[in-house]
Structure 1
Amino acid sequence: MSCCDAPGLMPIEEAMANILENTHTVKETETLPLDKALGRVLACDILSPIHVPPFDNSAMDGYAVRIADLDVSTTLPLAGQSFAGAPLKRQWPPLTCIRIMTGAQIPAGCDAVIMQELATVTEQGIQFDASPVTRHQNIRPLGDDIKVGQMVLSKGKRLTPRDLPMLASLGVANIQVYRKPIVATFSTGDELKPVGTPLGEGEIYDSNRYGTIPLFKKFGCDVVDLGVIPDDPALLTKAFEHAQANADVVVTSGGVSVGEADFTKDILEQTGEIGFWKLAIKPGKPFAFGKLNNALFCGLPGNPVSAFMTSYILVQPLLAKMSGDSDWKPEPILQATTHCAFKKVPGRTDYQRGIYAINEKGQFVVETTGNQSSGAFRSMSLANCFVILERERGRVEVGETVQIQLFNSTLY
């Protein structure tokens, strides 16, 4: 059996292309102080306003010398000092040396810095050993790291803890970034009850939003949480109207299957446009994507693992593109050897939860987390990777090679 044997099921690759084709970057920007910009996406290129370093400086604690003076004598009297933030300001007489510390400005006329381990303090001055001295030795020249006008970060870069210190070293105080996309989300179902309350017959706790909302925030979005909406067409319609009026993307959980009480799909057909709503993936087949009047729509399946996994696999790249993050890409696909069998029926791409390790030979190995039911969230909690089994593939035996995708930082 192949995907073509399952009518109406769209391959995940086609679904992803459809989603991205219909997603556009937000246009609005804002200017933030540097200390508030972590995780935000640059809305313009950043060019360096200065050289870094802004002057020639010493790479070592030692002594600033003129090579011509060393040709006359290898013992030079000490004539002053240059420390970081306190450079030498007076004339430097010939046939002398200057005590200098790491990062300090190089005195005018200095050819080289000799590290202090190669020098001895004597009554006559600083005696240098016979090691050869080369021009510019241990000197970091002006602009050695960054030159004025050089592009240091490109538009579309999401700022990391590694970027902020560099921008601070340039004296950049404020940054223009795209505003955060806004996600409005709610769960649907009469059976859903708040955590911390007793369960009645046939009821379950509303767990999906405890996974998806933190994900959306980690994806760099602001979230409007509308809670749980009962299976009532009028209430659902009102919720959709409120959500699309206050968000760029509306994400719901449940209500996109084929049950008699699954009204979300019907309401969407009346108030918007459905691009697709059945995918050839497992878990997550009843995933819907479409457009409302003022927002995009993603309908997640109701089962906890399915909702979480489709948020990670399908909603994450949508929100990355909407936020302007041009660097985002999924984690690479790696090859691993199985330490156990994996159940699989051909027909859908299967994202099973796995635990990978690296063996003594430096090779990736993987085993299952156990129960792969779309309602068994413990398998997601235990996992550190997805085992991606191709649509046409069947059962996998011990020792076979499979594809794995390690989790990115949003799951930690």
Structure 2
Amino acid sequence: MSRIAEIAAALAGYDAKALSVEGVQQFVEQLVAPGVPALLRQREDVPLRDALGRVLADDVVSPFSVPPHDNSAMDGFAFDGAALDGATGELPLRIVGTALAGAAWRGEVGPGEALRIMTGAVMPAGLDTVVPQEFCTVDGDTLHFPASALRRGDNRRFAGEDLMAGSAALRAGDRLGPASLGLAASLGLATLPVLRRLRVAYFSTGDEILSLGDAPREGAVYDSNRYTVFGLLTRLGCEVVDLGLVRDDPATLEATLRRAASEADAIITSGGVSVGQADHTRAVMQRLGDMAFWRIAMRPGRPMAVGLIPRDDATGGHAVLFGLPGNPVAVMVTFLAFVRPALLQLMGCHAEARRPPPLLRATSATAIRKKPGRTEYQRGLVRAVPGALPEVRIAGNQGSGVLSSMVEANGLVVLHHAQGSVEPGESVDVMMFDGTI
């Protein structure tokens, strides 16, 4: 039994002509799983500045505690917090010295005394509290501050508060972001072990498609999909292999798919997976590999193909193929819903690292028509509302070929499978396009 048939047989209620979004996501997760171990064996050490967006190959264990010592959380005066017990009004303490960041202060601080201290400076033994300098007045070598301004232990950072020596600072399978690089740097690491980049080949299909630089002609459109797919893959951190535009010729399609399977871990095509008479892509895919062709209960993006194309070498391996619709917005939506999580899985990300960001809850500013029985993704423009949930408006024309409204939008309103029409003021889920880091 083929891999596709095995997965289909195990999924309850599987129907290739009426799959839910959730059913497709479960299917794809199982399909790509066997391809992950081979990638996990290929790793390299890269400088910290080159590790952004890469997937960590091994756990990073902290060689020491961070911070390595108790220290002051702000500029002020350190003292033994026992002086606050029962104190009322102004508390006077004698200033006996100054502790600077980067060097331990070697003197002693006794009862009734305080030490001027800078942010990050080591807290001397016996001192556990820091009063911020803005609460203080200084008269010669005497410090005064209201005892009610703080409690014992305030403004003190503990050794190991960030990381304890021997603990896992970063996990294998983490996708490294800016904070991860900073954490690695705080451990003195100049390089990190990462998995090799996932190689993804992509191309567009169709005689009606023009490449950039071609003269316009009636009935033809310029190829936008290769550029949106390039952007999506590059942001994900993949190594991209652009195989250009492939005409509706079975021999050319077959040669391109064979080349893609030999050069890449995954393949993305756009167009040619519906049932049109001139759509040879579907037939060639079926002849070359183990394929499934779906009609998904979603909008936009109903037709889609997935499968495994064998490599023409001795490895016996396969490239995972995602055949996306031809309409530009449908390409982007199906990529976000299905391809992106699958590629993160192939990249070696652990389950938490490849989980999609949580959906934002927002109030719909307008009525949205929808029938239950399919998942819809409508382009939306979200804005903050002080003291209330964010508000989302539908952005422009929602046609699956209209890219201008995708540019205008900053998120997709996700109308779930069983959900019906939405009235103004009702809450909806939004998949935001960008995060801050």
Specify the alignment match of 1:297 in structure 2: 321
Q: Deviations over 1:103-134 (max 9, x none)?
A: 22234555655554535242xx3345573898
Q: In structure 1, what is the Cα distance between the partners aligned to 2:19 and 2:161?
A: 53
Aligned to 1:61: 75
Amino acid at match of 1:373: G
Q: Is 1:32 aligned to 2:54, yes or no?
A: no
1:387 touches 1:403 (CA, 8 Å); kept in 2?
A: yes
For residues 271 and 254 of structure 2, the distance between their equivalents in structure 1, rounded to whole angstroms, comes to 15
How far apart, CA to CA, are the structure 2 residues paired with 1:115 and 1:386? 46
Tell me how far apart the structure 2 counterparts of residues 69 and 399 of structure 1 sit (CA, whole Å).
59
- Of stretches 150-159 and 206-215 in structure 1, the one that deviates more from structure 2 is 150-159
* 2:330 is aligned with 1:282: no
1:320 counterpart letter in structure 2: L
State the one-letter code of the partner of 2:136.
L
CA deviations 1:310-361 (Å, max 9, x no partner) are 1121111111111122323234445655544445466543323233445577
Q: Which residue, out of 364, 376, 399, partners 1:373?
A: 399
CA deviation string 1:155-185 (max 9, x = no partner): 2221221222222112222212222211100
Deviation at 1:41, TM superposition (A): 1.8
Alignment match of 2:431 (pick from 395, 406, 409): 406
1:383 Cα deviation from its structure 2 partner: 2.2
327-336 or 252-261, which deviates more: 327-336
1:236–1:402 distance in 2 versus 1, CA, 3 Å: farther
CA contact (8 A) 1:39 1:220 kept: yes
CA contact (8 A) 2:382 2:392 kept: yes
Map 1:151-300; keep pairs closer than 5 Å.
Answer: 151-293=168-310, 294-300=318-324
**CA shift in 2, pair 1:290/1:129, >3 Å:** closer
> Following TM superposition, by how much is the alpha carbon of 1:191 offset from its aligned partner in structure 2, in angstroms?
1.8
Structure 1 residue 275: deviation in Å? 2.4
Please report how far the alpha carbon of residue 189 of structure 1 lies from its aligned counterpart in structure 2 after TM superposition: 1.3
Given the two structures, how large is their TM-score scaled by the length of structure 1?
A: 0.85
**Alignment partner for residue 309 of structure 1, among 333, 342, 351?**
333
What's the RMSD between the two structures over aligned residues?
3.4
Query: What pairs up with 1:304-343 in 2 under 5 angstroms?
Result: 304-326=328-350, 327-333=353-359, 338-343=364-369
Return 5+ residue gaps in structure 2 as ranges.
Answer: 1-12, 86-90, 311-317
On the 8 A contact 2:362/2:430 being kept in 1, the answer is: no
The match for 1:354 among 358, 380, 390 is 380
Q: Does the 8 Å contact 1:69/1:94 carry over to 2? A: no
Separation in structure 2 between the aligned mates of residue 63 and residue 360 of structure 1, nearest angstrom: 38
**Does the aligned pair in 2 maintain the 1:215–1:410 contact within 8 Å?**
no
Q: State whether residues 53 and 236 of structure 2, in contact with CA within 8 Å, keep that contact through their aligned partners in structure 1.
A: no
Quote how far apart the aligned CAs of 1:384 are: 2.7
Matched pairs, number: 402
8 A Cα contact 1:56 1:140, kept in partner: yes
Amino acid at match of 2:432: F
Where does residue 21 of structure 1 map in the other structure? Answer: 30
Q: After TM superposition, give the deviation of residue 269 of structure 1 in Å.
A: 1.4
1:7–1:134: structure 2 CA closer, same or farther, 3 Å change rule? closer
C-alpha spacing 1:87/1:212, structure 2 compared with 1 (3 Å) = same
> What is the alpha-carbon distance in structure 1 between the residues aligned to residue 229 and residue 132 of structure 2?
56
Shift in CA distance, 348/142, structure 1 to aligned 2, threshold 3 Å: closer
Instruction: Classify 1:411/1:199 alpha carbon distance in 2 versus 1 (closer, same or farther; 3 Å).
Output: farther
Cα distance in 2 for residues equivalent to 1:23 and 1:391: 25
C-alpha contact (below 8 Å) 2:380/2:410 kept by paired residues? yes
Is the Cα contact below 8 Å between 2:56 and 2:193 reproduced in 1?
yes
Question: TM-score, length-normalised on structure 2?
Answer: 0.80
Q: 1:118 aligns with which of 117, 123, 136?
A: 136
Indicate the residue corresponding to 2:7 in structure 1: none
Gap regions ≥5 residues in structure 1: none
Question: 2:315 aligns to what?
Answer: none
CA shift, 1:207, in A, is 0.8
Question: Is contact 2:51-2:176 (8 Å) kept?
Answer: yes
* Structure of larger gyration radius: 1
Matches within 5 A, 1:117-136: 117-118=135-136, 120-122=138-140, 125-128=141-144, 131=147
Q: Secondary structure at the match of 1:22?
A: helix
Give a deviation string over 1:277-303, Cα, whole Å, max 9, x none: 322222212211111112000001111
